Amino acid sequence: MKTQMTRDDLATARTLSEALPYLQRFNDAVVVVKFGGNAMGDDAEMASFARDMVLLRQVGVNPVVVHGGGPMINQMLAKLGIKSEFKDGKRITDAATVEVVEMVLSGRVNKRIVQAINAEGGKAVGLSGKDANMITCEPADPELGFVGEPSDVDPSVINNLFEHNMIPVIAPLGQGRNGETYNINGDTAAGAIAAALKADRLLLLTNVSGVRNAAGEILTELTTADIDAMIADGTISGGMIPKTETALRAVRGGVRACTIVDGRVRNAVLLELFTEHGAGSMIRV
């Protein structure tokens, strides 16, 4: 039974109308989303993210979700009594640790995201970079053990899933030349996958508002040259360096644009893709 139209109804209709050019722009586009952080541990935030992924697929976008899982790995290692050693802030991943990493990422975390997307009406399929030889790795640093850097990415299994309107959800694991299992930084894995797919957009969801200039102002659009200069002069520092370096590699590898998105904002992915103002800092060549 219909009810009387409200101002909210009018606002919703206007928003949908204004989104039309963006919906047309991203029809059949490939969008790789790196998902992680606090949202992964919050049921409401997880459901909201899952609903956004289903909406993207419904309007003709081909989303790919690449996830992390550091806090969950830490919890499981502590529960199993496996102590971690670090080198320059990075975990040394021995054979015992990488087994736990694979169990947590491919099992607990991956399937939770898959289940959330399917609960919202989507068709998600959980994978890791080891499936169908998707990601081949070299050691990132021999002293770190089984921490890998992607050397080759075969996206054919992802393209096959697109043909059946499915949403790939990928754990950041790969295999070495001799069959070893490697843990990959989630941002790094997302960037490598996006480059292999020649994605239209790579979205790195993070817990900051974007890239700031020396005055502390958020920059909504930057070039790769801007990023190089800001890293060199120290404007970009700390945890933003690996994010922007991932963006640089992805864009220079064939991704049309990479946006560092404030994942704390509800519906941040939809705001970035389907509104004029977006929700972060976009980096292009």
Torsion of CA 195, 201, 202, 206, to 10 degrees: 170
Q: Which residue has the higher pLDDT, 8 or 30?
A: 30
Q: With a threshold of 0.85, does the pTM exceed it?
A: yes
% of the chain with per-residue pLDDT over 70: 96
Q: Does the structure show a pLDDT above 90 at 250?
A: yes
Domains and CATH numbers, the chain: 40-51+69-197 (3.40.1160.10), 200-285 (no CATH)
Which candidate, 284, 280, 283, places its Cα nearest to that of 209? 280
pLDDT in tens, 55-73: 999 999 999 999 999 889 9
Stretch 228-239: mean pLDDT: 92
Q: How many Å apart are CA 106 and CA 112, to the nearest integer?
A: 10
Q: Does the structure show a pLDDT above 70 at 16?
A: yes
pLDDT of amino acid 2: 58
What DSSP state is assigned to residue 216? Answer: S
Stretch 251-262: mean pLDDT: 95
Contact assessment for residue 109 and residue 67, using Cβ atoms and an 8 Å cutoff: yes
Q: Which amino acid is at 207?
A: N
List 30's β-bridge partners, or say none: 62
Stretch 181-185: mean pLDDT: 95
Q: How many Å apart are CA 179 and CA 136, to the nearest integer?
A: 9
Contact assessment for residue 244 and residue 282, using Cβ atoms and an 8 Å cutoff: no
Q: Which residue has the higher pLDDT, 85 or 132?
A: 132
pLDDT of amino acid 148: 96
Helix (H, G, I), strand (E, B) or coil at 115: helix
Q: Which residue has the higher pLDDT, 14 or 32?
A: 32
Confidence band for 3, pLDDT divided at 50, 70 and 90 = low
**Residues with Cβ < 8 Å from 19, sequence gap 6 or more?**
274, 275
pLDDT of amino acid 86: 81
Q: How many Å apart are CA 124 and CA 116, to the nearest integer?
A: 9
